[in-house]
Amino acid sequence: MQDQTINGYGKGIESDSDRANWEQERRRLEQALDSAETRIRDLEAQLNALPESAIVDDRPPVNYLLMPHEAIPDGIRRITLEQADLGYWQLTESTWHSDLAVHDARKAFKRVRAALRLVRDETGSAVYRRENIVYRDASRRLSGMRDSAVMALTLAKLVAHYADELPDDAFAVTYDRIMEMHTMAVRTIIDEGTLLDQTAALIASARPRLVALPVTDETFTTVQQGVTRVYRRGRRAMARALQDETPHTFHDWRKRVKYLRYQMGILSNLWPAIIDVLASQLELLSDTLGDEHDLYELSQLLQRKFFLCDDAVERDHLLALIDRRRRELQMEARPLGARLYAEMPHQFSARMAAYWQTLCDEL
């Protein structure tokens, strides 16, 4: 029989039996991928922020960007207050799943910190550090409710990525045990009933200081200085990560990328056609580095808690896949980071200042 090819792969099929085997394997791989993707969708439905159409009516209004006719000091105070109020609401009033409430609250607190970094030179180091510590500690308090769920999602994404190499039920027992661990952790926290209340009280006590945040500069000078600092630190963190290639340095780079991404959101109205694309690429880089770090944390978890994967051969296989995927993600981050941090810090912030001046001239 003459060799045939299927879907351009060029693999010779010698007989009907070969064709049947090939079709059976293709169906198995499709089923495995569908199963892994279903796990990912189910977890992301719980972990990701809800779409605007799904948000209940009493959620505090938020608009995380400076408006064209808004004075910069007024805008920064409004933005930080809105995000702090959103985080407080998630912890005290939200009727959604606790995972979602905690996820959204932590994102809101990170946005507050990014906004504070924009005006750090005007508020002064003492004020900045005091407020930054409040929202940093609030996020850290809540991290335990999220970590195990993120580990389950990370495992599901890993299985989906290597679906063509794995059996249908690859690491299913480990996945189930991680989810059981997460359920128990959340139940314990909710039963104790103090963590969310204590965190909300911390945010409430800091609110008056955001109302009186000492920012008065209506020019772009202070914001430009803030952008310069965040961009410079991200650039340096990238250089350290690419040189040292350690989990710590890659994680630190990711945090710096995220701050810049949030700041680009605040400044989007300066030139949406350009800055929105920049923000989306920063988001992509942040997600890539975040996935790399989550895989590192998963490997550490598996090596601390053997019961999650008590078959030594299977555990070694899983750890090898994790290391392999981490290297892939690190390689993906390199060219993206090189493009995003191609400018010198003062050049990047001067470009933002030029956009701001052009916008002012148009108004």
pLDDT at 42 over 80: no
- In the predicted structure, residue 315 carries a pLDDT above the cut 50: yes
- The pLDDT of residue 173: 96
Evaluate whether 13 touches 137 at the Cβ level (below 8 Å): no
Res. 54: pLDDT tops 50? no
- What is the reported pLDDT for 7? 37
Look at residue 40 and tell me whether its pLDDT is greater than 60.
Answer: no
- In three-state secondary structure terms, 187 is helix
Calculate mean pLDDT across residues 150-175. 94
Name which residue leads in pLDDT, 17 or 162: 162
User: Residue 216 carries which side chain, given as an amino acid letter?
Assistant: T
Cα-based distances in Å from 141 to 53, 189, 194, 202, 203: 29, 11, 11, 11, 12
- Average pLDDT over the chain, rounded to whole? 87
Stretch among 23-27, 122-126, 154-158, 270-274 having the lowest mean pLDDT: 23-27
User: What pLDDT does 146 receive?
Assistant: 77
Cβ pair 254, 110 in contact under 8 A: no
Domain range annotation of the chain: 219-363
- How large a percentage of the chain has pLDDT more than 90? 71
- Tell me how far apart the terminal alpha carbons of the chain are, to the nearest angstrom: 75
* pLDDT confidence tier of residue 12, bands split at 50, 70 and 90: very low
Predicted confidence band of residue 97 (pLDDT cuts 50, 70, 90)? low
Q: What per-residue confidence (pLDDT) applies to 101?
A: 82
What's the chain's length in residues? 363
Give yes or no for a contact between 275 and 359, defined as CB atoms under 8 angstroms apart: no
pLDDT at 10 exceeding the cut of 70? no
Q: Give 201-208's long-range contacts (Cβ < 8 A, gap of 24+).
A: 202/134, 202/137, 202/138, 202/141, 203/84, 203/87, 203/88, 203/91, 203/109, 203/134, 203/135, 203/138, 204/88, 206/84, 206/131, 206/134, 206/135, 207/81, 207/84, 207/85, 207/88
Q: What is the structure's pLDDT at 223? A: 98
Mean pLDDT on 306-334: 97
Q: How large is the average pLDDT for residues 292-318?
A: 96
